[in-house]
């Protein structure tokens, strides 16, 4: 369960020159008009809506005003329906929570509470309800008992759902990390034990055990840990000690490493893989040695030097070889996991086997075959091929099932496992054979695809044009553009320039909606470049140094709305926060994630691995530090116009967007949405008769907007249209809402 259920859908993908027309104006009304952006920043939305409804019509603006009033009426009707559905759903979730508590089903009760909380206006007040507070106390006690009894899946589920409910990034961080680390260790080194525990947990929850993907048996911890060595670890510790934002040290990192090894050596099931751990006397000798090292470090009055660290690490490796005899790469890997855990959640080592996966997120390209995939009815399913890729050229279509990968059945496969198997070692020119079955047929055909470098497009539009190009115009009448930025990579600014140019070729843009929702960030330089497209002077952000705007690449001034939500993080927050501080855009949506830290990436070894370490917190132009620290009262970028979406609404929107964004050829027939993006909690084929009355997914972006799937976009578009049709011009200095 996640805060946003849509995450379970599991999609993996891994402006203008001179304005061509001046804003039209209405005849001055009797009452003083409200500037839509001033109204928004002062929470006067209801008053603005009322003025739009009462605006007198004249010949010049009749068509535009009528359309705006109709759109507003539809928006308000959608909002009324949403509120009714929310109240009904809240009562149902609370009733379910009470029933689950009565059955002593604490995980399910927590799930119900999380879903109910997502429908409230004040999540903190919700936590003070007596029934919710009682649930939290019972769940905390149960999680502690489960962990002590080695029921790690039970403990993990309870801690995760408690963390979702409390949502302060601190209360359950340590137990969550501790339990998750134990399960991670078991899955890597003794997968049979891990899957046995997983199956036992599923049965205890009244579920069928999941099938294990047979491809797992072809790998193993030796493959995963290839290339891991002591030199890389020492380099990582040095970088972290010298550069971490909170001022780490060799002492602190070494203590964390010792703790990591202690957790590892105390896991009984590991004796099946490492014979030295089965000898209780030798294992206790090693644990006593680790305890002595830890106590020595805790009592130190001066900081450990690099030489002392290297010597102690060498000594610990030697003692390991004399006692439990863990392979050096295992010792280093688990010591490193403990050391990095003393830092923050964004600092980590990417070992040689993980290098390609890390580069995929930073270079805006990867080696693969060019398919987006998900799990539908537990089957590995193609959501969409990417244009001009091996998958596209081979004729793979949305909805096709991937039944085998290089001869191994995909039954029981996870999305991460599928990505790794399809990309393989990520070597250009290597081949992978996929067994493909098209829904409605019984035959599986073998398709051989040769891997090549795939370019990730980070700037998308409102909908696809025939043949796959993006349409960036959301309102042709008022020439309003729409751009989604999905990540910040080295080519993102150039992609945005091309999108703006395509809009200019269609008649120009008088306003723009910039959608940063679900964008987890990326490169700092890309965030600075995009900020400079909209701001021509002043500070953009301060990280290790201050970055300033100039007029060289700045678009002409036009009204701008930026959409944000809880999934907007890092570089997204830099861009949104900069535009807000410069009063360059109206920010609409929900509070962002609060990832206001900067990570530096350093090579380890001979360019074989990476260390990503947090080195500073960035400051917005106003001086705000928006990083979400433990127990922080406020964080992230707060919208000027708050439009909240519930968890179920977000899931529904993501599924609809996934379907609408499918790449199709000019003559390709319509695709059944259930074949591609049917959610995990929806009926399967055997329940189709019961699902006949369910509302189908929209098939076009216009339909998505009209039917209320995206209230944040609806509100942003209304505000932008009202601004363009307003009798007053955009205020140059709206009230300051950016006090640090």
- Grouping H, G, I as helix, E, B as strand and the rest as coil, residue 638 is coil
Q: Would you state the pLDDT for residue 7?
A: 38
Which helix (H) or strand (E) element contains residue 435?
A: strand 431-437
Q: Would you state the pLDDT for residue 682?
A: 40
Q: Does the pLDDT at position 58 exceed 90?
A: no
**Is 124 one of the annotated active-site residues of the chain?**
no
Q: Which of 581, 640, 661, 710 is catalytic?
A: 581
Q: Does the pLDDT at position 76 exceed 50?
A: yes
CA dihedral sign, ordered 100, 105, 111, 117:
positive
As given in the structure block, the two tokens for residue 5 are 């259920």
Confidence of residue 40 (pLDDT cuts 50, 70, 90): low
Tens-digit pLDDT profile for residues 219-232: 789 989 999 999 99
Confidence of residue 668 (pLDDT cuts 50, 70, 90): low
Q: Would you state the pLDDT for residue 464?
A: 87
**Average pLDDT value for residue range 348-364:** 80
Q: Would you state the pLDDT for residue 463?
A: 92
Tens-digit pLDDT profile for residues 388-428: 899 989 989 888 999 999 988 898 888 888 988 898 766 78
Output the average pLDDT for the chain: 85
Helices (H), 60-190: 62-102, 106-117, 123-127, 130-148, 152-166, 173-189
Phi, psi of 425, rounded to the nearest 5 degrees = -85, 10
Residue 233: closest CA among 256, 263, 262, 210:
256
Q: Would you state the pLDDT for residue 42?
A: 54
Q: Would you state the pLDDT for residue 467?
A: 75
Residue labelled with tokens 């891997």: 451
Q: Which residue has the higher pLDDT, 473 or 49?
A: 473
Angle between helix 250-265 and 306-322 (nearest 10): 10
Q: Does the pLDDT at position 730 exceed 70?
A: no
**Average pLDDT value for residue range 431-439:** 92
Specify whether the CB–CB gap between 649 and 608 falls below 8 A: no
Tens-digit pLDDT profile for residues 103-140: 999 999 999 999 999 888 888 899 999 999 999 999 99
703-716 in b/e burial notation, b at 16+ Cβ within 10 A?
ebbeebbbbbbbbb
**Is 570 one of the annotated active-site residues of the chain?**
yes
Q: Which residue has the higher pLDDT, 155 or 63?
A: 155
Q: Does the pLDDT at position 44 exceed 80?
A: no
Query: What secondary structure does DSSP assign to 43-70, as a single string?
Result: T-HHHHHHHHHHPPP-TTTHHHHHHHHH
Burial class (CB in 10 A: 0-12, 13-18, 19+), 740: exposed
Query: Which DSSP symbol is given to 715?
Result: H
Q: Would you state the pLDDT for residue 156?
A: 95
Q: Would you state the pLDDT for residue 53?
A: 82
Report how far apart the first and last C-alpha atoms of the chain are (Å, whole number).
35
Q: Would you state the pLDDT for residue 669?
A: 64
CA angle, residues 407, 658, 475, in degrees to nearest 5: 150
Q: Would you state the pLDDT for residue 216?
A: 57
Q: Would you state the pLDDT for residue 11?
A: 36
Query: What secondary structure does DSSP assign to 289-302, as a single string?
Result: HHHHHHHHHHT-SS
Tens-digit pLDDT profile for residues 601-656: 999 988 889 999 999 999 999 999 999 876 777 899 999 988 988 888 898 899 89
Instruction: Report CA-CA distances (Å) from 171 to 49, 140, 177, 297, 634.
Output: 42, 11, 12, 27, 16
Q: Would you state the pLDDT for residue 30?
A: 32
With a pLDDT cut of 90, the percent of the chain lying above it is 58
Q: Which residue has the higher pLDDT, 105 or 667?
A: 105
Q: Does the pLDDT at position 50 exceed 70?
A: yes
- Grouping H, G, I as helix, E, B as strand and the rest as coil, residue 406 is coil
Q: What is the C-alpha to C-alpha distance for residues 76 and 718, in angstroms, rounded to an integer?
A: 11
| Torsion on CA atoms 458, 461, 463, 466, rounded to nearest 10 | -80
**Is 595 one of the annotated active-site residues of the chain?**
yes
Residues with Cβ within 8 Å of 481's Cβ and at least 6 positions away in sequence, in order, are 15, 472, 473, 474, 499, 500, 503, 509, 511, 512, 513
Q: What is the C-alpha to C-alpha distance for residues 674 and 376, in angstroms, rounded to an integer?
A: 8
Domains and CATH numbers, the chain: 89-202+215-224 (no CATH), 365-455 (2.30.42.10), 459-642 (3.90.226.10)
Q: Would you state the pLDDT for residue 364?
A: 61
As given in the structure block, the two tokens for residue 285 are 């000798």
Q: Which of 198, 570, 572, 597 is catalytic?
A: 570
Q: Which of 355, 397, 460, 595 is catalytic?
A: 595
Q: Would you state the pLDDT for residue 639?
A: 93
Q: Would you state the pLDDT for residue 36?
A: 59
With a pLDDT cut of 70, the percent of the chain lying above it is 86
Q: Does the pLDDT at position 2 exceed 60?
A: no
pTM: 0.85
Residue 540: closest CA among 575, 516, 515:
575
299-318 in b/e burial notation, b at 16+ Cβ within 10 A?
eeeeebeeebbbebbeebbe
As given in the structure block, the two tokens for residue 209 are 């055990």
Q: What is the C-alpha to C-alpha distance for residues 662 and 676, in angstroms, rounded to an integer?
A: 10
Tens-digit pLDDT profile for residues 171-206: 898 899 999 999 999 999 999 999 999 999 989 888
């Amino acid at each position: 369960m996640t805060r946003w259920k849509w995450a379970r859908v599991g999609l993996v993908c891994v402006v203008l020159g001179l304005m061509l027309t001046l804003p039209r104006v209405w005849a001055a009304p009797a009452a003083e008009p409200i500037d839509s952006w001033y109204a928004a920043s002062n929470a006067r939305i209801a008053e603005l809506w009322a003025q739009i409804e009462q605006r007198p019509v004249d010949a010049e603006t009749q068509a535009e005003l009528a359309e705006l009033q109709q759109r507003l009426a539809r928006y308000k009707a959608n909002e009324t329906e949403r509120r009714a559905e929310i109240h009904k759903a809240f009562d149902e979730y609370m009733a379910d929570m009470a029933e689950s508590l009565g059955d002593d089903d604490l995980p399910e009760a927590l799930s119900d509470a999380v879903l109910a909380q997502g429908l409230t206006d004040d999540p903190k007040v919700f936590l003070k309800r007596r029934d919710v507070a009682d649930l939290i106390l019972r769940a905390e006690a149960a999680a502690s008992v489960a962990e002590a009894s080695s029921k790690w899946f039970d403990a993990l589920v309870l801690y995760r759902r408690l963390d979702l409910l409390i949502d302060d990034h601190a209360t359950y961080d340590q137990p969550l990390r501790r339990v998750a680390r134990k399960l991670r260790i078991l899955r890597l080194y003794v997968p049979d034990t891990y899957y046995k525990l997983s199956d036992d947990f599923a049965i205890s929850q009244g579920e069928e055990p999941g099938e294990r993907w047979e491809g797992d048996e072809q790998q193993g911890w030796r493959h995963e840990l290839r290339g891991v060595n002591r030199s890389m670890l020492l380099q990582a510790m040095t970088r972290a000690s010298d550069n971490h934002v909170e001022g780490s040290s060799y002492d602190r990192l070494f203590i964390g490493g010792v703790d990591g090894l202690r957790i590892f050596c105390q896991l009984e099931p590991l004796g099946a893989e490492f014979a030295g751990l089965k000898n209780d006397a030798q294992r206790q000798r090693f644990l006593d040695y680790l305890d002595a090292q830890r106590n020595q470090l805790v009592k130190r009055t001066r900081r450990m030097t690099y030489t002392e660290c290297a010597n102690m690490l060498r000594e610990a490796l030697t003692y390991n070889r004399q006692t439990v005899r863990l392979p050096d790469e295992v010792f280093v890997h688990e010591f490193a996991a403990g050391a990095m855990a003393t830092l923050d959640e964004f600092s980590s080592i990417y070992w040689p086997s993980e290098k390609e996966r890390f580069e995929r997120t930073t270079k805006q390209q990867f080696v693969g075959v060019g398919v987006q995939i998900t799990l539908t009815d537990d089957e590995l399913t193609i959501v969409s091929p990417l244009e001009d890729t091996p998958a596209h050229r081979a004729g793979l279509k949305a909805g096709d099932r991937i039944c085998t990968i290089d001869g191994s059945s995909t039954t029981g496969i996870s999305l991460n496992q599928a990505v790794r198997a399809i990309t393989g070692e990520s070597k250009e020119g290597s081949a992978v054979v996929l067994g493909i079955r098209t829904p409605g047929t019984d035959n599986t055909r073998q398709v051989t695809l040769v891997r090549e470098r795939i370019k990730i497009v980070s700037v998308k539009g409102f909908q696809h044009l025939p043949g796959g190009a993006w349409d960036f115009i959301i309102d042709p009448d008022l020439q309003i553009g729409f751009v989604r930025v999905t990540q910040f990579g080295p080519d993102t600014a150039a992609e945005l320039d091309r999108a703006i140019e395509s809009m200019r070729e269609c008649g120009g843009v008088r306003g723009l909606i910039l959608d940063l929702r679900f964008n987890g960030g990326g490169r700092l330089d890309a965030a600075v470049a995009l900020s400079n497209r909209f701001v021509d002077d002043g500070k953009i952000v301060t990280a290790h140094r201050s970055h300033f705007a100039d007029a060289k690449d700045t678009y002409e001034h036009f009204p701008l709305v930026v959409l944000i939500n809880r999934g907007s993080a890092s570089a997204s927050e830099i861009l949104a926060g900069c535009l807000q501080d410069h009063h360059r855009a109206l920010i609409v949506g929900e509070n962002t994630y609060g990832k206001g830290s900067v990570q530096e990436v350093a090579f380890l070894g001979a360019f074989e691995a990476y260390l990503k370490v947090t080195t500073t917190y960035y400051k917005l132009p106003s001086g705000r530090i928006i990083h979400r620290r433990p127990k922080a009262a406020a964080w992230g970028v707060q919208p000027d116009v708050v439009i909240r979406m519930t968890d179920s609404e977000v899931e529904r929107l993501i599924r609809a967007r996934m379907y609408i964004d499918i790449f199709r050829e000019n003559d390709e027939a319509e695709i059944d949405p259930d074949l591609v993006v049917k959610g995990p909690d929806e009926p399967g084929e055997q329940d189709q008769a019961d699902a006949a009355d369910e509302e189908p997914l929209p098939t076009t972006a216009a339909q998505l907007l009209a039917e209320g799937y995206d209230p944040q976009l609806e509100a942003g578009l209304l505000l932008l249209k009202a601004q363009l049709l307003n009798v007053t011009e955009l205020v140059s200095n709206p009230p300051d809402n950016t006090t640090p």
